[in-house]
Copies of this chain bind each other. A is one copy, B any other.
Amino acid sequence: MKKINLAIVGVTGMVGQTFLEVLEEKDLPIENLYMFSSARSAGKKITFKGEEHTVEELTETSFDRGIDIALFSAGGGISEKFAPIAVEKGCIVIDNSSAFRMNDDVPLIVPEVNGEDIRNHKGIIANPNCSTIQALVALKPLDEYYDIKRVIYTTFQAVSGSGLAGWTDLEEGLKGNPPTNYPHPIANNCLPHIDSFVDNGYTKEEMKMIEETKKILHKPDLGITATTVRVPVFNSHSESINLEFNKPFELDELKEVLEKAPGIVVEDDVANNVYPLPANATGKDEVFVGRIRRDESLENGVNLWVVADNIRKGAATNTIQIAEWIIDNLM
């Protein structure tokens, strides 16, 4: 296997740091690893697999050195400016921002779900929104078996989804200090407001879940709605998902479908108080699914409770799994 030159853009952020953590655990064939950040963090030393690296300022010439794959997680503005430059130099960009996700010629990828879509890439591959990724890992096998007709998402999202600023707001809020990131205190509160509001009364986060789900499932006409809520939890998102299928199902079979699906751990033994919990999902790469039960208000309905580490599977791990898929299949 060819060894690759890998770059991380936004290495000092929360997701950037988790890229390094996940890469330390995995065994990607990396020849050279380049670390980029804004001017502010440039010059910082970071040790990766026992070797010291110096963080470089990201500039227009950063990709002039034969970088094969770049993992971007430095915000939409940076992606919009530098991803096309990287692509022009022959680099494949896997982008964590929302900048390119809905572009027709940018595959939006959860490897277990639609890895094959990567083949259509034109240089940029988008990593979906964190809350979309974990939902899709559970929805895809069910869609294959039972043909999903309608989805109702309600999320319980951790502050790490807002990066260090969100984390600090909760940490300080628990000490009684006012927020600086969120418009209201997050400690001892639930904020039905993630990202900004759009004209139809939804938040961008809700619209991301709706539009990205349709794109990843290749179901542009899927019925789907979402309510996304920030809760006072540091890490790992939880989701209550209500599904309606076109086809009938047996609950035992449906559970088996989930158990056998890639990337899922079914935790559903309520008699012993076993169900997915954000406190348990943190630090793990799988998506945890439980509270699997028939929705009696419908012919073919089911309720699920889906939990995952939003910084790992919801961002860093998924991005690196995309890189692995590329290395395994395209290089």
Contact = CB atoms under 8 A, between A and B. Distances in A.
A229 B150 CA distance: 22
Interface stretch (A134-142, A180-188, A257-265, A320-328): A180-188
A225 to B, nearest CB: 4
Contacts of A191: 277
A270 B225 contact: no
Interface string A269-313: 011010111110000000000111111111001010100000000
A154 to B, nearest CB: 4
A246 to B, nearest CB: 14
Contacts of A174: 174
A202 B293 contact: yes
Given A156-B156, A193-B270, A279 B188 contact: yes
Contacts of A222: 297
Interface string A223-250: 1110101011110001010100000000
Interface string A180-223: 00011100111111000100111000000000000000000011
Contacts of A85: none
Nearest to A203: B270
A205 to B, nearest CB: 12
A4 interface: no
Contact of A229 (B193, B238, B242): B238
A225 B277 contact: no
B297 A223 contact: yes
Nearest to A189: B279
A23 interface: no
A278 B189 CA distance: 6
A163 B298 CA distance: 34
Contacts of A151: 297
A22 interface: no
A106 interface: no
A152 interface: yes
A224 B297 contact: yes
Interface of A: 150-152, 154, 156, 174, 183-185, 188-193, 197, 200-202, 222-225, 227, 229, 231-234, 238, 240, 242, 270-271, 273, 275-279, 290-298, 301, 303, 305
Those 6 A-B pairs whose CB atoms lie nearest each other, nearest first: A223-B297, A201-B293, A154-B154, A183-B273, A189-B279, A197-B270
9 contacts: A151-B297, A156-B229, A174-B174, A189-B233, A190-B278, A192-B275, A201-B292, A225-B301, A229-B238
